[in-house]
Amino acid sequence: MSVKRITSFRQSLLRWYRRHGRDLPWRRTRKPYPILVSEFMLQQTQVATVLPYYKEWLRRFPRFAALARAPESDVLHAWQGLGYYTRARNLHATARLIVDRHRGRFPKAIYAIQKLPGVGKYTAHAIATFALDQSVPIVEANSARVLSRLFDLRIPIDSTVGQSKIWNYAAGLVPKKSAATYNSALLDLGALICLPRNPKCGICPVRKFCRVKNPGSLPIKRARPAVKEFAEKHALIVRDGKILLKQSADRWRGMWILPPANGGSKNRRAIYSAPFSFSLTIIPSVRRAF
């Protein structure tokens, strides 16, 4: 885009955002900690699901120091229901790192932020723009979809080349001032208008800048890896109204689970003991696109 069209694009987007942007609690602060918490929770989780957890989390762990002091069991319990518990462990590890190594001060340089546990390029840039007021681009699922359609990108956005192009597009559009507001507007455009299915092109505030003719055909992504299924057998053991649990040391990484069934329970005093099995679906881990 020319400089004139970029300016016009930003103006149209921000005008729409001022009227229709989402009022989210993490947008009411510029403190790194609550913004970091929101970014971790929003990874692969919808905003509506995150909202009640976010409020309760900040009540229990209001600052880095409070989270750093908490035992892992309390952290995982507070995260219960959000899934992808590695995020909670990484957030906990980050809090301890901030307190122990950075004396409670959040780093300002993006390269330093990206060294924190569980913090990738997108999260580092999001914190830099939303908490530290830095003029940097951010690219996640919503904004990547907007940009791929805006520039009619006909290669997989989760490929190395595709990622590079998307980030370059984003960098070329972000303003030098008020980048946080602009980036929030771009995210909301993808969340509210430029939807994965049935995008609302008829009311899109920047449709005159969009190059794609068939928005539903974009973005293009690589084929997902095959899903693997495993079966595990566990025993349900009840005694005096209590259920026997065991803390896992392998696949479940410290979670409390029913004990593995090895031919039935040897606890003859158990009121009820029965082995059962369930299927576990494993999706092979892949590098996050953004």
Residues marked as catalytic: 39
Angle (nearest 5°) at CA 36 between 257 and 60: 55
Contact 63, 105 (CB under 8 A): no
If we measure between CA atoms, which residue out of 121, 147, 116, 115 comes closest to residue 136? 121
Cis status, amide bond into 219, omega within 30 of 0? yes
* Sequence letter at residue 183: N
User: Can you give the three-state secondary structure of 8-74, one letter per residue?
Assistant: HHHHHHHHHHHHHCCCCHHHHCCCHHHHHHHHHHHCCCCHHHHHHHHHHHHHHCCCHHHHHHCCHHH
If we measure between CA atoms, which residue out of 40, 140, 36 comes closest to residue 82? 40
